[in-house]
Every structure is written in structure tokens, then in C-alpha cells.
Amino acid sequence: MAKVKTKFQCTECGYEAPKWYGKCPGCQSWNSMVEETETVVKTQGRNSPLFDSKDKPLPIIDIDSGQEPRVQTGIGELNRVLGGGIVPGSLVLVGGDPGIGKSTLMLQTSHALTHSGLRVLYVSGEESVKQTKLRADRLGALSAELYVLCETNMERVEEAVDQIQPHFLVIDSIQTVYLPEVTSAPGSVAQVRECTSRFMRIAKGRGIATVLVGHVTKEGAIAGPRMLEHMVDCVLYFEGERHHTYRLLRAVKNRFGSTNEIGIFEMGEDGLREVGNPSELFLSERPLGVAGSTVVASMEGTRPLLVELQALISTTHFPSPRRMATGVDLHRLNLIIAVLEKRMGMFLQTQDAYLNVAGGVRLDEPAVDLAVAVSIASSLRDVPTKPDDVIFGEIGLTGEVRAVSRAEQRVKEAAKLGFKRVILPEKSLKGWKHPRGIQLIGVNTVADALAVALD
């Protein structure tokens, strides 16, 4: 028997409740609870959809573990993030702030795929066909195999897919598409869930690589139910500051590749351009001979990045000093300050500490600890670091410098960009061949590092 069930669900975080709340108990958002009506059909035994598949269980050793076939998108940075290219039949979700360049990236990708002989259908629910054509003219993304449709009705989108039979499908955006039989408004939790389920069946059943563009909430997460990210094969976040020209494409979920890779783009008048050497870009405006500025070698997936760290230590006029960090975890900054106070005798209790990663990159790995400590000490003592130094290493609570992974790649990247000296953990010097033309100095404690960097 079927029965109608009514519930209330938050459009921001997907929290479900049997009654309406003015303020969501889950994310504390005001007026975000909407009423959802669904029909529940009870099925048991062999009539359950779980038993509809005709596949039989197989021993895991008999299952073919060959690599999934991939299609090169024509954009190297996007291929890197996806794990080597897009997999036919995969469902990809791309999220990002408004105006960050999601539609531009998708249109450029669609155009690049047509050069490989693929047919692409670009469905826009937010812009008219003429607006999409104007963007394509500006980007130079004009091809006879690129079809554009302005539609939000899910049934008509499926009709267009049946008619064109594309190899690549873009939905911009999933929050604008609706099913007529679902009573809630477009963009609601129920609509997003049901439409994504239909697109998943299209992708898996017909082998069409499908990309869904999603809106984000004020907290930066993709809008809609959390189930949305569980349903898709890959979740990409397009990040960046509007005041900077570069953009970062980061994978937070990828069933066909690594989630540690990032793609770096630069926004120009003619669209997004790939950044082949991001380290050179981030260091292009680095001041030389300034206290508090150091260069750290960080790893983003398999790619080494050389980024400038800037620290500013100034006397506070308040009882409690301020601690601010941009691009580095604030809790990690407090930990390093505590180590410097306890182990190095630095008096920072009356000093405000500001830390910034130049260029807006976010560094999450502990290998940046040593560079943070050197930047703070350099600013406090007003002693500039050497402009040709690169520093990396993890700091322990007792003041020791611990080894980090992939030291060889970090050093090679520093040598390629012309740096003369690298200060790194002593234990990271073992097990690999040191390149010529660059001096490697191993340290065991923070005191050793400061003595070398600030001599």
C-alpha cells in the first residue's frame, strides 16, 4: 500500500524534521525549512527493487580489475584532477561561488571535447541561448558538435538527450532543473534529489559522461541534500578569490582517481588559462630582503608548490593578543607559537601574530610548520631571511623537526626555480640522490633551523 508522508527539510544542510522550525536545528539557518511531500510504497521480499538486478554474485578474484577507459578533456589541469581524464558514464558534480568561473570552465571543456570527435549537449537553466552564445564568442568555443539548450524541465532535457545522443552532458545548474510530478519548487531538497537520480540513470545506463554544476551555500558547501555528494562519482570544488586572477580546482571525492590533486587556472579576458608552473606564479611578486617572508615547499597531490609565507608580529595594545591566519590552520599557528615560547624563549604573549599565504593558496600539510616558525621569528627579531632559501619540515611539541614525505620532489622544484639553499629535516636527507647546484642543510630542532635561516 502507498501512503503520503509529509516532512520538513532544510535547503541548506538537508536536516529533516517532522515539523517546521523557523531556525534549522542542524545548521542554524533562518527560514530554510521547506515542506516536502513524498509517496511511500512498502515492498518486501523478491518484489523489492534491491532484487531487480539479474547480476549474480562473483568471487572477487574473478572480477576484471582493468583500468576504466578515459577520455582526455583537452584541458591538462582538469585531466589531472579527474585522475587522467573523464570516465564515460561517470557523474561529476562541480561547485563553486557565484561568478568564480564554473560555466566558463564547462563551456571550454565542452568545446575541447568536440575536437576529439565527441558530441556535447550543454543545458543551461540560468542563461538564455543568446547569453551562452555571447560567452562562447568571447571564449572562442564555437563548434558544430556543441549543442546548447535552455531548459529546466527534466522531461524535456531527457527528450533532448534522446534526440541528440551526446557523449558528454553538462547541466548548468542542477538547482534549476525540476520534475513536474514533484510538487516542491525547483532547487528544493526533493527536486535536487530526484533530478540527480534521473541524471545518474542517464549517465550509467547510456554511458554518457555527465557534469552537474551546483550552487554553494553561504558556508561554502554545495547546496542541497548531503546525499547529493554521495550519489555522484566525483565532487569538484572550484575555488578562488575574486580579487585574484587564479582559480583552484580541487577534488574532494573521486571514485576514479586521487583526491589530493589540484588544478590551477588563471582567469583572463579570453577565459581560463592553465598555469603550467604555479610556483613561479605565486613567487612572481615576492619582496626580497624583508623580515617575516619565507618560501615553503608544499605538496598538493603529486605536484610540489613553492609558496611565500608572510608573518607580521606587532606589539598589541589589548590584554589578549590577536592571532590571525590566512591559508594556514589557525590552531596550527597557535601550536607553533606555543612551541616558540616554551622551547625558544620567545616572548609572544604581548605580540599580535598575523600569518598569510601569499596568493591565497591554502596549505594544510604539517610540512609548512618550520617555515611558519622561521617567518614568525624573522618578523619578531626584524631579521630578514635569505632570498634564496626554501624551508620545510614538521615541528613537534618538544621542538624537534620531523621528517616529511617527498623531500626529493620539493628539492628538485626549488632547484628548478633557481634557489640556492634548502633547510629541511635531517632525517629527510636519506634514501634519495641529492641534485647538484643546491645546498641542503639538515636540522633536527627548531633552534638549529633558526640559527641557519637567521644567521
Annotated binding-site ranges: 96-103
For residue 451, the surrounding DSSP H or E stretch is: helix 446-453
Three-state secondary structure call for residue 41: strand
Nearest to 78 by CA among 240, 251, 270, 212: 251
Determine how β-strand 146-150 pairs with β-strand 120-124: parallel
Closest C-alpha among 259, 304, 314, 241 to residue 278: 304
Q: How far is CA 95 from CA 100, 102, 203, in A?
A: 10, 7, 19
Do the beta carbons of residue 9 and residue 16 sit within 8 Å?
yes
Establish how many alpha carbons lie within 13 A of residue 330's alpha carbon, considering only the half-sphere containing its beta carbon. 7
Residues 6+ apart with CB under 8 A from 328: 309, 355, 357, 362, 363, 368, 372
Cis peptide before 375 (omega within 30 of 0): no
> Which position has the grid cell 562562447?
136
| Residue ranges of the binding site for ATP | 96-103
**CA-to-CA separations, 287 to 2, 108, 284, 295, 392, in angstroms, rounded:** 70, 35, 9, 11, 19
What does DSSP say about strands 262-268 and 389-391: parallel, antiparallel, or unpaired?
Answer: unpaired
CA atoms of 202 and 109, how far apart (whole Å): 20
- Phi, psi torsion values for 398, nearest 5 degrees: -90, 5
DSSP annotation string for 145-177: TEEEEE--BHHHHHHHHHHH--SEEEEE-GGG-
Q: How far apart are CA 17 and CA 26, in angstroms?
A: 10
Mind giving me the DSSP string for 417-436? TT--EEEEEGGGGSSSPPPT
What are the beta bridge partners of residue 107? none
